[in-house]
Amino acid sequence: MKILVCISHVPDTTSKINFTEGDTKFDTNGVQFVINPNDEFGLTRAMWFKEKQGATVDVVNVGGPETEPTLRKALAIGADSAIRVNMPATDGFAVAQQLASVAKDGAYDLIIAGRESIDYNGGMVPGMMAAMLGKAFVTNCVGLEIEGNTATAVREIDGGKETVTATLPLVIGGQKGLVEESDLKIPNMRGIMMARQKPLKVVEPVDVNNASATNKFEKPAPRGAVKLIDADNIDELINLLHNEAKVL
């Protein structure tokens, strides 16, 4: 079984976010980048298929040279090879087309992507990629088993979970729950050394036009001041809620 795992290069959630050039550009100074968490769950599940079923695992990213350390981390975790499509990942439609092109050329049985990246939170790339490839698609996936040519997936739905079956090839939009957080792999020294010897192929993008563009960024409004009321002063609390907050 050949597996392709799509990897996004995203800012760590603990990073302090700033913008430059009139809030039109993201300021990367001092920002630590990591594997998109939803993608990391998918990569770990792919490693399970490699260890238990002998699958081969490639990882792919759309981005510039600055994303290669993230791909090298995926190789250190255990992926066999990496592909970087040499273009900025600024538009979901264009990214989906690049990933679909790589997937089509590689004839993969299973394509795992995160259901969304934690920077743009678009949630569109896996579904569009599946449509472009004409493959079955399961998103919000929190469980995946494969027996022969049949995949059994569990996905979150409103109010519960749904179990579906599909025939490979298949595209998965994974998320937290696809593996346990305790199962996420941290590269060891041997993995890091081996990653330096594994192939990382850079390919030029196919010719596509972006369907969207970012005009401006805006930070959330700062939180307002907090008033503390003595626990025994119920009358003052009711007065403020009624006359100031106007929620009563």
Q: What is the pLDDT of residue 198?
A: 95
Give percent of the chain above pLDDT 70.
Answer: 100
Asked, for residue 13, whether it belongs to a domain, the answer is yes
Confidence of residue 224 (pLDDT cuts 50, 70, 90): confident
Inside any domain, residue 240? no
pLDDT number for residue 15: 87
Q: pLDDT of 78-104, one tens digit each?
A: 999 999 999 999 899 999 999 999 999
Arithmetic mean of pLDDT, 42-57: 95
In a domain, 187, yes or no: yes
Q: What is the pTM of this model?
A: 0.87
Mean pLDDT of the chain: 93
Q: Identify whether 87 is part of a domain.
A: yes
Contact 124, 137 (CB under 8 A): no
Counts for the chain of helices (H) and strands (E), in that order: 6, 13
Beta 110-114 vs 170-174: how paired, if at all? parallel
Q: Which helix (H) or strand (E) holds 152?
A: strand 150-157
Backbone φ, ψ for residue 66 (5° rounding): -65, -15
Confidence of residue 133 (pLDDT cuts 50, 70, 90): very high
Whether 232 is covered by a domain: the verdict is no
Residue 223 domain flag: no
What is the structure's pLDDT at 114? 95
**In a 10 Å sphere around its CB, with 0-12 CB exposed, 13-18 middle and 19+ buried, how is residue 19 labelled?**
middle
Residue type, 234: I
Q: Is the pLDDT of residue 210 over 90?
A: no
Write b or e for each residue in 104-126: b if 16 or more Cβ atoms lie within 10 A of its Cβ, otherwise e.
eeeebbbbbbbbbbbbbeebbbb
Residue 35 lies in a domain: yes
What's the rounded Cα separation, in Å, for the pair 160 and 89?
33
Return the CATH number at 131.
3.40.50.620
> What φ, ψ does residue 124 adopt, rounded to 5°?
-110, -25
Distance between CA 241 and CA 207 in Å, rounded? 58
Q: What is the pLDDT of residues 5-49, one digit of tens each?
A: 999 999 998 888 899 999 999 898 889 999 999 999 999 999 999
Please report whether residue 239 resides in a domain: no
Q: What is the pLDDT of residues 158-203, one digit of tens each?
A: 999 999 999 999 999 999 999 999 899 888 899 999 999 999 999 9
38 is in which domain, residue-wise?
A: 2-216
Split into its structural domains, the chain has a count of: 1
- Name the burial class of residue 154, with classes exposed (0-12), middle (13-18) and buried (19+) by CB atoms within 10 angstroms of its CB: middle
